[in-house]
Chains A and B, each alone.
Chain A
Amino acid sequence: MPRLSVWFVRFSFVHLLIGLTFGGLILANKGFPFASWTWSLLPAHMESLLLGWMAQLAMGMAFWILPRFRYGAARGNVNFVWGALILLNVGIVMVAMQPLISMSWIVLTGRILETSSILLFILASWRRVKPMET
């Protein structure tokens, strides 16, 4: 597994743990209401599990497994993919902080970072979606 995939997968596991913890608190609060603030964890729960866990794991696996180039950089522009990793995680944290910080620009900025991350990843990976070279 290349180093970049290692970091994608590690971050995705961290998001899985955070997302499950927040989801567990929300569900437990449905059982015995003990803290209404648990509902404020819902955006972080969804963001961590959908983008942080699943999308990020898929990106890490794709970087590892997609066909490589025979000439030049084997996995394409690695800087773009490092950029995607950083932007995605900063974006998720910003969106997840939405209920804690009353700054409306933070969600918008987080969403822009997440989208930029995915676009960078697509740019770097598009040409790797190809038949195997023989």
Chain B
Amino acid sequence: MPLLTRTFIKTALVCLALALVLGILLASGVTNGLFPVYIHLLVFGWLTQLIFGVVFWMFPKYSNELPRGHESLGWIAYTALNIGLLLRAIAEPMQAMQPSNLYGGLLIASAILQWLAGVAFIANTWRRIKEK
């Protein structure tokens, strides 16, 4: 299993654990306004990140020289996804409680980074979707 896949999968597991802890906090009323963060930790941080890692590992070869395509695009996807998610986890509840230009700007950055993660993943994987 390549390093990038291991990193994706381990980070996905951390996101799953964080989401479940957040779920406990939400259910016990300790914290409010974090439901969107909870959902995105599960759907993007856990499921989508796990898929990205496994696809990078198991999809048909890109070429003999570059069997998994351009790995740097994979690392860009990994970094953008996780920084984007982290910014969202910080800025989204803060923006809901006390709106400011700082948190607004962080949300814009988060939106761009999460979008960029998907684009980098698709760019690196598209040509690996092929018939045998």
Q: Which residues of A contact B (CB under 8 A)?
A: 1-3, 6, 9-10, 13, 16-17, 20-21, 23-25, 27-28, 30-32, 49-50, 53-54, 57
Tell me the smallest distance from the CB of B106 to a CB of chain A, in Å. Answer: 7
A32→B131 contact, CB < 8 A: no
**Count, chain B residues at interface, CB 8 A:** 33
Chain A residues, Cβ within 8 Å of B106: 31
The winner among A10, A16, A25, A31 for most chain B CB atoms within 10 A is: A31
Chain A residues, Cβ within 8 Å of B125: 13
CA distance A1 to B127 in the complex (A): 12
Q: Which of B3-11, B22-30, B67-75, B109-117 sits within the interface?
A: B109-117
As a 0/1 sequence over residues 96 to 127 of chain B, the CB contacts with chain A under 8 angstroms (1 = contact) are: 10000001111110111011011101100110
A54→B129 contact, CB < 8 A: no
Q: Among the listed B59, B96, B110, B118, which residue makes an inter-chain contact with A16, where contact means beta carbons less than 8 Å apart?
A: B118
Nearest B residue (CB) for A33: B104
CA distance A39 to B51 in the complex (A): 27
A49→B115 contact, CB < 8 A: no
B115→A20 contact, CB < 8 A: yes
Chain B residues, Cβ within 8 Å of A20: 114-115, 117-119
A24 touching B114 in the complex, CB below 8 Å, given contacts A30-B95, A30-B107: yes
Tell me the smallest distance from the CB of A45 to a CB of chain B, in Å. Answer: 11
A1→B129 contact, CB < 8 A: yes
Chain A residues, Cβ within 8 Å of B88: 27
Name B's interface SS. helix
Q: Among the listed A3, A13, A54, which residue makes an inter-chain contact with B126, where contact means beta carbons less than 8 Å apart?
A: A13
* B89 in contact (CB, < 8 A): no
A17→B129 contact, CB < 8 A: no
Tell me the smallest distance from the CB of B131 to a CB of chain A, in Å. Answer: 5
Tell me the smallest distance from the CB of B67 to a CB of chain A, in Å. Answer: 15
A1→B131 contact, CB < 8 A: yes
B122→A31 contact, CB < 8 A: no
B131→A6 contact, CB < 8 A: yes
Q: Among the listed A6, A10, A16, A31, which residue makes an inter-chain contact with B111, where contact means beta carbons less than 8 Å apart?
A: A31
Chain B residues, Cβ within 8 Å of A3: 131
Per CB-CB distance, the 3 closest pairs between chain A and chain B, nearest first, are: A31-B107, A31-B104, A24-B111
CA distance A54 to B44 in the complex (A): 11
**Please, could you name 25 A-B residue pairs with CB atoms under 8 Å apart, sorted by A?**
A1-B60, A1-B129, A2-B131, A10-B126, A13-B122, A16-B118, A20-B119, A24-B111, A24-B114, A27-B88, A27-B111, A27-B114, A28-B108, A28-B111, A30-B95, A31-B91, A31-B103, A31-B105, A31-B108, A31-B111, A32-B107, A50-B43, A53-B48, A54-B43, A54-B48
